[in-house]
Amino acid sequence: MVATPIGNPDDISARAIRTLEAVNLIACEDTRRTGQLLARHQIHTPTVSHYEHNEERRVPELIERLKAGEKIALVTDAGTPAISDPGFRLVRAALEADVRVIAVPGPSAAIAAISIAGIPTDRFTFEGFVPARDAARGKSLDELRREPRTMVFYEASRRLADTLVAMAAAFGGSRDAAIICEITKTYERTIRGTLADLESHFRATPALGEIVIVVAGKPDTPSVEAETGDVTIDVHEALEALREAGLGLKQASAVVARLTGMNRREVYRDALKSREDDSKDG
């Protein structure tokens, strides 16, 4: 499993070059694109296509060659194989056939993006591409509404603004996020802000190229149960909703205090502390 550059061809490692030179065959997502990389580094190893729509047919062929003693390198168009790219089926089949599988690590858009996003990296979850259809996308994001870890997504530039709208609906428009465009490429840029601000930005100025979205996890704030015991009000989410509706922080705190029975000053003080903590994390 050989990781290849996301954009900058010089990101390939010396070990990756040696491996691609030494194997009998390179299985690649796009033989033409990989051919350009191989030509740049004067690698003449034969290639064969291995992509999403021919995996079912190709995997048994590759396994037979591996069992016969050949060494095969798997690459994708960019980054690490099997990470939102073809590769998982071949790896699983190889392991089941007692074929040794080795990683030649290197570029990964998800890891590169989270390292520069300015959002907590101690715990994170990789979510890949969100569904393209509105209903499925909304459902998928709603399932992550209470996710406390930083979330990393891939997205096509043409869908970015709509996805940010859906994320703001699921996570709250004030949730911190970062959009990394064209990472490692000539026009790489990182835009940080709230989901609401980012949606406005990219609605007015559409993004181009490859996109990684990094979204902060749900802040660690307590839930408060109403006196009836059958309704739970999340203080942070209630404050977010009221702020998005146009209320100031003091007004929103007063409403939440009335609904929960909490002390208004206590709610306001906790809201200020949460905002300060979010600012420090960012």
Which CATH number fits the domain that encloses residue 117? 3.30.950.10
| The pair of three-digit structure tokens given for residue 140, joined into one six-digit string | 């998928």
Residue 211's CB is within 10 A of a number of other CB atoms, namely 23
| Range(s) of the domain holding residue 252 | 223-281
Shared domain check, 113 and 202: yes
For the chain, the domain total comes to 3
List the chain pLDDT tens, one digit each, 282 residues. 999 999 898 999 999 999 999 999 999 999 999 999 999 999 999 999 999 899 999 999 999 999 999 999 999 999 999 998 899 999 999 999 999 999 999 999 999 999 999 999 999 999 999 999 999 999 999 999 889 999 999 999 999 999 999 999 899 898 999 999 999 999 999 999 999 999 999 999 999 999 999 999 998 755 444 443 455 677 778 888 888 888 888 888 888 877 776 777 777 877 777 666 555 555
Spatial distance between the Cα atoms of 12 and 1, rounded to a whole number of angstroms: 13
Q: What is the pTM of this model?
A: 0.76
Q: Report the distance separating Cα 166 and Cα 61, nearest Å.
A: 42
Q: What is the per-residue pLDDT for 281?
A: 55
Residues 77 and 20 in one domain: yes
- 222-230: long-range contacts, CB 8 A cutoff, minimum separation 24: 224/260, 224/262, 226/259, 226/260, 226/261, 227/261
